[in-house]
Amino acid sequence: MERLGICGFCVQDEGEDLVLLGKRYELNTRPLKSFKKFVEDTLGLDFRIKTPPQERIKLPPKQDCSAFLDKLRGGCRKHGRSILFSDEGADRLLHGHGQSCEDMWRLRYGTFERLPDGIVYPSCQEEVIAVVKAATESSTVLVPFGGGTSVTLGLSCPENETRPIVALDMSKMNRILWVDPENLLAKVEGGVVGAFLEEELGRYGLTTGHEPDSIELSTVGGWVATRASGMKRNRYGNIEDLVVDLTAVTPTGVLSARGRKTGRVSEGPEVQNLMLGSEGTLGVVTDVTMRLRPKAEAQIFASFVFPSLGAGVKFLREIESRGELPASIRLVDNFQFKFAVSLGEDAAAAKRGPLGRLSRSVLDPLKKTLITRVMGYDWDQIAAVTALFEGGKEEVRRQQKTLTQVARSHGGLPGGGENGSRGYALTFMIAYIRDLGLDHGWMGESFEMSLPWSGVLKSCERVVERVKRDSQREGVKLPPVISCRVTQSYSWGACVYFYIAIRFVELAEPLKVFHRLEEAAREEVSACGGSISHHHGIGKSRRPFYRDRAGGGNSADTGLRLLHGVKDTLDPSDVFGVQNLVARVSRTETEMRKQTPSRL
């Protein structure tokens, strides 16, 4: 079903029950009774409060794209092509936002000052070249659009842009061009959706192993443009480890290594790498040659519970230092542990058979008694780890044995494979839970940062303290939700997700309050050595933080000059003027802030 202000499917009220619509998850169509009680008791979420999205949204007027269309049609006639174009209101709205909290808020309760004035749908690289040429000649801005999953305002149209804006939708460039099983490579178009790619590669017994939270919707080109990371990074690498070659169309030409199939060379700077993390500011990725791996012989889930988040962090660090990281291993704090417990109880209820059998889980009363009374765990401090092992059978068995031994040495207990599987799948549901909160007066967002090990636990503690304190000062009536999750482990540190949610019904300017709380949290993480982003990117929402990081400390101005130099070379007319990362011209921070689109 389609509705303003939701991500994909939705969690819907069905009388007194909550039901997850769709067919993709274990709990689809099952009443979420325990989960409902959890959010009522823990958050104070009142399902009697209704804050539904607006039925209609007033769209900004569209600018005239006739000059662009005339140039495009003229170029297409030469090659006997016809490229689909739309300026329908629904299409403009769909292509004018991502999935951030601010995007959802504008969709549900506000409006957009600018939206794309049209959308163009090329179906091959030659058509992309024609689109970019027409935009250059007609002074039109292009905004590449893949799966629409940006959470950094990366797809929002700059409000200060006076030229026509056209979204360049890559959905028709969704082909796998070739698969080379012998050399473990595949060349795919930029608009290929991750889930479809994995399904097709599976026919060859192969995989990229790249599995971001957004794999159901996000595209290969978007992965490259945002410098993405996947949940199984430990085994398969981040996106930069998977890219062998790519082709990108820029206003001054096509960027490519011309079919290179070797993974590493010493042939000067890798100019193709300029597109990694470029966020639609230099051109559009039309195809990518990716490394593949044979599908794993064995895939097994596991879970562990620990007496505290600190014990879990020490466990992760030791596993990493031993070189025994499984394909995926993630640590969640007490709030997310209890969140998973509530969904686990609903899953167990759904599995009652004719004889009343229940699936075994760490939530069973007997095990809960063991954890709290025998082991001495504090139920309000417990943290949990979910793990996914992939590889050969012997490799997986060895890793399982090692993790279990190390977990016990840190006071941990095995929680079972079923809980591991459920915890892994829970990641895909989080956006839908956020949408449910918006229907009942709560707004929330997550952000992720890289942190050194010395700052992981400290940042979690500081963010909780700061957001609680600041939310009281901002007039937030109920205690906010502040939660964290460690999702990637490296020798130097980890990627940590932070989740913040507040009740907004009593607030006069909810979005402004929420932004201030998020910025306060970022300040605390930065003070602990954190980055701006681990894999979501900069977009526009994080652009004010980027200037000091672009060149590294005192050389930031040099780094920004380098970025602008690349921009001037590849896109001198600012055709790809989405204004992500940095403002168009290198200026003082004050002047840059003046160009940043205003927030509600």
- Which residues define the annotated binding site? 144-150, 213-219, 226-229, 279-285, 434
Largest Cα span, the chain: 79
Chain position carrying tokens 């997550």:
446
> Which of 158, 153, 160, 191 has the alpha carbon at shortest distance from 174?
191
Report the alpha-carbon distance of residue 256 to residue 245 in Å, rounded.
7
> Which of 431, 446, 438, 445 has the alpha carbon at shortest distance from 505?
438
5: left (phi over 0), alpha (psi -120 to 50) or beta: left
Q: Which residues are annotated as a binding site for substrate?
A: 434
Report the alpha-carbon distance of residue 316 to residue 325 in Å, rounded.
8
Report the alpha-carbon distance of residue 224 to residue 280 in Å, rounded.
10
Q: Contact, 37 vs 59, CB < 8 A?
A: no
Selected catalytic residue, list 25, 377, 432, 497? 497
Q: Contact, 288 vs 220, CB < 8 A?
A: yes
State the DSSP string of 82-135. --EEE--HHHHHHTT--SSHHHHHHHHH---S---SEEEE--SHHHHHHHHHHH
- Catalytic residue list contains 497: yes
Residue 280, token pair as written in the block: 């639609």
User: Exposed/middle/buried for 452, CB within 10 Å: 0-12, 13-18, 19+?
Assistant: middle
Which residues are the active-site residues?
Answer: 497
